[in-house]
Structure 1
């Protein structure tokens, strides 16, 4: 693809990254109203699943052909979405996003263990930078830097699950993006239902649930589905290294918006951790850009 033709896909991925970086806003808005806790995730992903249901029915043969790999990829990415959402609902947005973006570190480890891809020196440096950034963000007050809140843990686990998703996707390149989106959203709705039923502090049946569903459906139709389609469409037309670099816009967007709109702390520690994790992501992305394209 020529430089000219790279422009629109790159813009699509960048737009998606901005929307994902601001995704905490509609989540917290819905949670502050009649959809407390993980009801916001359940309503949004449930509505998105219903919107895609007619398309899924038309492509049911592709869904069946996806088989077990599609189910595993969809459920793992659905878990990524739901765990990340819960993290930003109960924790600090910046910390959750930064811990999530350790995903390339975990993905490298999984690729080494499961795909026999030994990391080179550049990738080892990016791993050390990512882990160092996480340690700075988490702090050393209690000794070894571990997540110190529920939000931290959910952000970290969502990144681990995203690394699992990336590894599964590489092992099943034949699985289609639309089918993956549908199964992921349906899986996210199921996992969110599990959170509502079994996590402490959840409201089993919120008052005013019926009135809150239309706004949740609008968020799904006007925000979630466009940002998901943009990243899938753009990523399919760009090399992975370029995509991973552009997606780092999400970190900057989330950090800046949370610092301005929530008053969450964003001092020297968060700045240093953000710089290290962004640096690790950039190093990984540029390394991917330098790899030769596979033969066709």
Structure 2
């Protein structure tokens, strides 16, 4: 019997599972805010806790960090994506942030075409057009930059960072997912600390914040780390646009949970934008229907 990790469908399954869990990322972030961990502090606590656990695990199991320069840069970029996404969630509507992040399949298509020598098919054009139109609808039909908040900008930047990081990990040769997870968590911790220094957080003070730091670190171990390992392990084995497509399962879990549990605006335009962004992602799997006409 073929071991589960060697089955060809396993990376896709793990990526889909990780995406469903990423979709409720906002819940621990928003909960930590109630404990005084506002701004970037929640992200810092969770990623620092995950990083410390990985360091201890690697030391106990004598696991060596195995990652080439390219893969390491990719892991660092994914860390940027995780941190900016976490901060964006504290600054803007959850549903809006999730949907703007998922311009990522569009960025991935551009990266694959421009830097990885992959062809540009009609599905590539559909991906870009649907992504941009979907983002326009999510933003309420606003064309002016004045309608963009910092949270919106960070959400888009997070998607771009993820697309670039996934491409570098995929092309960076075989690395161990444990080491890549460590690099990602360290990068996210450093970027989050940078946000705190820039004023996106409060100083540690009082029991509530101390408790929040401990709970955040624990959440990093039991929640962040498993989905980080699943995501990065899959990213080593799947093309960037493909994994970005699979990760759009986050839209389903994130938008549904956000719409049900939060009093945030989600009207016809936002729903239409969500559908278009899902179409943009789905276009990737329709590539097999392409007859070579770009």
TM-score by length of 1: 0.85
How far off its partner does 1:221 sit?
Answer: 1.8
Q: 1:288 to 1:226 in 2, by over 3 A?
A: farther
Taking the aligned partners of 2:126 and 2:234, their CA distance within structure 1 comes to: 28
- Choose the corresponding residue for 2:36, options 28, 34, 37: 34
Equivalent residue number for residue 170 of structure 1:
170
Give a deviation string over 1:121-146, Cα, whole Å, max 9, x none: 121112111111111112334x4477
Equivalent residue number for residue 104 of structure 1:
105
Q: Is the 8 A contact 1:240 1:285 kept in 2?
A: no
Taking the aligned partners of 2:114 and 2:239, their CA distance within structure 1 comes to: 24
Q: 1:110 to 1:237 in 2, by over 3 A?
A: closer
Q: 1:290 to 1:102 in 2, by over 3 A?
A: same
Q: 1:168 to 1:11 in 2, by over 3 A?
A: closer
Q: 1:242 to 1:155 in 2, by over 3 A?
A: closer
Q: 1:234 to 1:288 in 2, by over 3 A?
A: farther
How far off its partner does 1:8 sit?
Answer: 6.5
Q: Does 1:22 align with 2:21?
A: no
Q: 1:242 to 1:121 in 2, by over 3 A?
A: closer
Give a deviation string over 1:17-59, Cα, whole Å, max 9, x none: 2211011000110012131221111111111000000334423
How far off its partner does 1:176 sit?
Answer: 2.9
Taking the aligned partners of 2:286 and 2:18, their CA distance within structure 1 comes to: 20
Equivalent residue number for residue 261 of structure 1:
261
Taking the aligned partners of 1:68 and 1:7, their CA distance within structure 2 comes to: 28
Give a deviation string over 1:165-191, Cα, whole Å, max 9, x none: 122123313333221111000111111
The residue correspondences of 1:193-204 to structure 2 (distance < 5 A) are 193-198=193-198, 200-204=199-203
Q: 1:83 to 1:112 in 2, by over 3 A?
A: same
Taking the aligned partners of 2:118 and 2:9, their CA distance within structure 1 comes to: 31
Q: Which secondary structure state, in structure 2, belongs to the residue aligned with residue 259 of structure 1?
A: helix
Q: Is the 8 A contact 1:240 1:289 kept in 2?
A: no
Q: 1:51 to 1:288 in 2, by over 3 A?
A: farther
Equivalent residue number for residue 294 of structure 1:
none
Q: 1:243 to 1:70 in 2, by over 3 A?
A: closer
Taking the aligned partners of 2:139 and 2:13, their CA distance within structure 1 comes to: 33
- Choose the corresponding residue for 1:43, options 42, 45, 67: 45
Q: Which secondary structure state, in structure 1, belongs to the residue aligned with residue 204 of structure 2?
A: coil
The residue correspondences of 1:250-289 to structure 2 (distance < 5 A) are 250-287=250-287
Q: Is the 8 A contact 1:138 1:145 kept in 2?
A: no
Equivalent residue number for residue 206 of structure 2:
207
Q: Is the 8 A contact 1:83 1:158 kept in 2?
A: yes
> What is the CA RMSD across the aligned residues, in angstroms?
2.9
Taking the aligned partners of 2:18 and 2:137, their CA distance within structure 1 comes to: 28
TM-score by length of 2: 0.86
Structure 1 unaligned regions, length at least 5: 292-296
Taking the aligned partners of 1:74 and 1:114, their CA distance within structure 2 comes to: 18
Q: 1:236 to 1:78 in 2, by over 3 A?
A: closer
Equivalent residue number for residue 225 of structure 1:
225
Equivalent residue number for residue 139 of structure 2:
138
How many residue pairs get aligned? The number is 285
